[in-house]
A and B are shown apart, each in its own frame.
Chain A
Amino acid sequence: MRYVIIGGSAGGIGACEAIREVDPVGEIILISEEPFPQYSRPMISEFLSGKASFEKMKYRGDVFWKENNVELKAGRKAVHLDLKERCVELDNGEKVKFDRLLIATGGKPIIPKTEGIDKRGVFTFTTISDAEKLLAVVKKNQRAVVIGGGLIGVSVAEALVERGVVVTIVELKDRILSLILDEVASRIIRDAMEDSGVTIITGQTVKSITGKYEDNTAVEGVVLSNGEEIPCGLVIFAIGVIPRTELVLGTDIKTNRGIIVDRYMRTNVSDVYACGDVAEVYDFIFGENRVLPLWPTAHLGGRVAGYNMAGKKALFPGGTAMSALNYFRVPVISVGLVNPTNNNEYEVMIQHDSVRKIYRKVVLRHNVIVGFLLVNDIERAGTLFYLMHNFVDVKELGSQLISDDFSLASLPFDIRRNLFMEGTRWMVLPN
């Protein structure tokens, strides 16, 4: 049996580990464009700020590939898929045959068409190589404009601030982190960022990037959609990522925004699987598949794919929008639907202590938790996630869910017992 995996990050690594749990002898070949794929992508901001060395960023140790007997083709790009011949063609012309294939190619940064984008000083922020390039040029007191106030934008802003850079974030929506936070929570983070010297401009976008008078190839500043000019030496595009589906376009593999998979992580083509940022995976709150570009869902999907590829049935338990943050020293956890729009259908419970800056919000639909948001007091998150993932009727608990003294002991006896007897169920292997 020969397993071929394209991409060696969260998804690819999860698959290798799962395959090896089931099949100690099958051949595993992993193709990775990045020369050293097994690093923690979210940690590139720690790398840029200087908080983590590359050594610390290693998600798995150097021996990982050897230990798991994986043939790593590092620094090699897959350029073509031949599903009839069941082979992957690499950029050096080599053809790699597969019995089972996993596509874990992740995402690529969104870069909207903007005038002046090819100037020196313009960056994206999704790989270690991006972080190294930025690190090579950042200087104290330099000015930077970060385009996009989502997860990646806020994380690169934090790293730049720690390097003494003067940062402005330009966000199109009316608040930062708008997809995962509501107004109150977003304001708490915004205050913390402004206290650290970050300028946040909302409701605007960057129309063009201007060049220096003496050297038009270097960045001089940006022009916003309202015409305002902001001088800066660095521009970082941090709008988000889109599935990197280029390899499967034009093949029989079905895509929507991402590659479509079932809950066994199979594509519509037999023996071909996909996971992680490149795929549309099952969201248990929406009850349908969508792009969930998150590390835990990528790793979990990779494991599920790996087990199934090796012949052990495993079901993807479902993910949802789920983010834990610690930007600018504000702990936040946001899961599921935190900004419901149709108020007739949802019940929202809120506890806000503006002095302690503690904020808790739980969103219910038919007495089941469909989303929650916690700021500065986050340790109950896992219990809420459990209740949510198991669709537990929480009518009896009511406002206890957001009260100061909620704990595992507040749960009804049956739920407590199930939890201790049956385990978490946010897992992939049958007990």
Chain B
Amino acid sequence: MRRILVFEEYCIGCGLCEVYCRVQHSQSKDLIKAYNREQPKPLSRVKLVKAKPVSFAVQCRHCKDPPCVTACLSGAMRRDNDSGLVVHDPDKCIGCWTCIMVCPYTAISINVLGSGVVAKCDLCSTLDTPACVANCPNEALVCEEVL
């Protein structure tokens, strides 16, 4: 499976990771449309966090023993053993926020404008490289294969 490494010392805080994550999770997959026209407004699943001079991007770490899966009340959050991904099913999710309570990475967001339930990084499993990594101009995000 793959994993995203975060190098905060290279992060310049530009926010392109969020921009391209949002585009990737839009219906149109088009930058202009995703930002200006699409309803509901797509949500970035990566968060750029800043506290000067520190900045870095954080997204779901796809933990081996994920607290969000243990805590989930509805069964919407689960770990796929084959891919190693922590998968969220918005149709099963009821938006009880219990997963948010236990994720130390704050990697789970409330999709206020969209589904009304939570949303998080899916590692762009349909792409060769996750959108945030591919569009990071300074290699502060790197994708690697791990066992």
Contact = CB atoms under 8 A, between A and B. Distances in A.
A420 interface: yes
A429 interface: yes
Contact of B94 (A52, A295, A299, A431): A52
A379 B67 CA distance: 15
B75 A58 contact: yes
A324 B96 contact: yes
Contacts of B106: 379-380, 382-383, 407-408
Given A326-B95, A380-B106, A385 B70 contact: no
Interface in A55-92: 56-60
Contacts of B110: 331, 378-379
B97 A322 contact: no
B37 interface: no
Nearest to A423: B63
Interface residues of B, number: 38
Interface string B107-123: 01110000000000000
Interface string B58-95: 10010111110011011100000000000000011011
A431 B98 CA distance: 24
Please list the 3 inter-chain residue pairs (A to B) with the smallest Cβ-Cβ separation, ordered nearest first: A386-B104, A427-B65, A407-B49
A333 interface: yes
B51 A410 contact: yes
Contact of A40 (B61, B63, B64, B73): B73
Contacts of A117: none
Contacts of A43: 73-74, 94
29 contacts: A51-B94, A60-B75, A296-B73, A296-B102, A300-B70, A303-B70, A324-B98, A325-B97, A333-B101, A378-B100, A378-B101, A378-B110, A379-B100, A379-B106, A381-B97, A382-B104, A383-B105, A385-B104, A405-B51, A408-B49, A409-B49, A409-B56, A410-B51, A420-B6, A424-B67, A426-B102, A427-B67, A427-B70, A429-B65
Contacts of A382: 100-106, 108
B97 A40 contact: no
Given A423-B64, A424-B67, A409 B54 contact: yes
A407 B104 contact: no
B97 A333 contact: yes
Interface in A399-431: 405, 407-410, 416, 419-420, 423-424, 426-429, 431
Give the bracket for the number of chain A residues in contact with chain B: 35 or more
A378 B102 CA distance: 11
A14 B71 CA distance: 11
A218 to B, nearest CB: 34
A295 B96 CA distance: 12
Contacts of B96: 42, 324-326
B10 to A, nearest CB: 14
Interface string A325-360: 110000101010000000000000000000000000
A427 B63 contact: yes
Given A43-B74, A324-B96, A409 B104 contact: no
Contacts of B73: 40, 42-43, 59, 295-296
A158 interface: no
A416 B61 CA distance: 14
B70 A296 contact: yes
Give the residue among B67, B70, B104 with the most A Cβ atoms within 10 A: B104
A423 B3 CA distance: 13
B102 to A, nearest CB: 6
A46 interface: yes
A333 B97 CA distance: 8
Contact of A426 (B51, B67, B94, B97): B67
A59 B49 contact: no
A300 B105 CA distance: 20
Nearest to A299: B70
Given A382-B104, A426-B102, A296 B71 contact: yes
Interface in A283-341: 295-296, 299-300, 303, 322, 324-326, 331, 333, 335
